[in-house]
Amino acid sequence: MTAAIIDGKAFAANLRAKVGELAASFEAKAGRKAGLAVVLVGEDPASQVYVRSKGKSTLEAGMNSFEHKLPADTAEADLLAVVEKLNADPAVDGILVQLPLPRHMDEQKVIATISPDKDVDGFHVTNAGRLAVGQPGFVPCTPLGCLMLLKDRLGDLSGLDAVVIGRSNIVGKPMAQLLIAESCTVTVAHSRTKNLADVVKRADIVVAAVGRPEMVKADWIKPGATVIDVGINRVPAAEEGKTKLVGDVDYAGVAEVAGAITPVPGGVGPMTIAVLLRNALVAAFRNEGLDLPADAI
């Protein structure tokens, strides 16, 4: 079998266009643009690329983008002060503090300072709790993007066996919560899992969020399974001195067995940014007390 390629880039472009239309209707109703603030501490090159890309997409969607770049040696208290100023700023609907933060900062403390109503990453414990108990809140962008791709491909997910590899707070755990809410039978695997290949082999849906280049192999996959590759790993390319991006899945091998697979790049990554804009727009409607139809986006 040769897997269908799930085109996250195209799906994300479509989602961004919908966000753009709703951003215009928000502006007409609220008399201002929706606003997303992104805070970057330090000069990590990968983070700089993401932040630039987020800023560009935000403007393209007809929203205001506020970028705050702080030096790597910023004191934690100064970062917290920036976040508090953004919490209080009525022009700012969503706040994203780019992770990872420099080692001298306590990420949990910084996330806890973001107002839950502006936490468009869905990382605040209040939003994690809302997701866990099924209340409306903000869901982390990457797993929500994965779920959108899965539902688009498979329709109703109920009763399907799903294996999530990875249990981080930002991808694996919220992904598992979303799949539970869709009535999948969910297994969460991690570095202590025994017989990982056998665990994965049971799955109709595999979500790999590990951070190990091409770890998931073809003979782990049940024929016809849907494979979502969250991994973003920069590795040396064939040409001397060059690098390329690969996922956590051995794409060439797995594509021979799976029913459908997301590529890297062009799969989950673009969805993350599109969902971020979606969440920021939802935040804007909520912060203004305006109705947004539940199935609008």
Where on the chain is the footprint of ligand NDP (CB under 6 A)? 142, 165-168, 170-172, 189-193, 196, 209-212, 230-233, 268-269, 272
Q: Which is nearer to ligand GUE, 25 or 169 (CB)?
A: 169
Annotated catalytic residue 121: yes
Alpha carbon 20 to its chain's center: 19
The item of ligand GUE, ligand NDP, none sharing an interface with residue 212, based on CB under 5 to 8 Å by kind, is ligand NDP
Alpha-carbon distance of 112 to 62, in angstroms, equals 29
Q: Which is nearer to ligand NDP, 34 or 273 (CB)?
A: 273
Residue in this structure with the two tokens 């727009």, named with its chain if needed: 281
Q: Is 153 exposed, middle or buried (0-12, 13-18, 19+ CB in 10 A)?
A: middle
Q: Per-residue x/- mask for ligand GUE, residues 108 to 147, rule CB under 6 A?
A: -------------x-------------------x------
Residue in this structure with the two tokens 């919908």, named with its chain if needed: 18
Q: How far from 293 is each of 4, 62, 123, 135, 136, CA to CA, in Å?
A: 32, 20, 24, 16, 13
Annotated catalytic residue 54: yes
Instruction: Flag whether 167 is marked binding.
Output: yes
* Ranges within 79-108 binding ligand GUE (CB under 6 A): 96-99
- The per-residue DSSP string of 67-106 comes to EEEE-TT--HHHHHHHHHHHHH-TT--EEEE-SSPPTTS-
Kindly state the smallest distance separating residue 158's Cβ from ligand NDP, in Å. 26
Kindly state the smallest distance separating residue 230's Cβ from ligand GUE, in Å. 9
Alpha-carbon distance of 164 to 174, in angstroms, equals 10
Contact partners, residue 116, CB within 8 Å, separation at least 6: 124, 126, 127, 137, 138
Instruction: Flag whether 166 is marked binding.
Output: yes
The item of ligand NDP, ligand GUE, none sharing an interface with residue 99, based on CB under 5 to 8 Å by kind, is ligand GUE
Instruction: Flag whether 158 is marked binding.
Output: no
Catalytic amino acids?
54, 98, 121
Annotated binding site for NADP(+): 166-168, 232
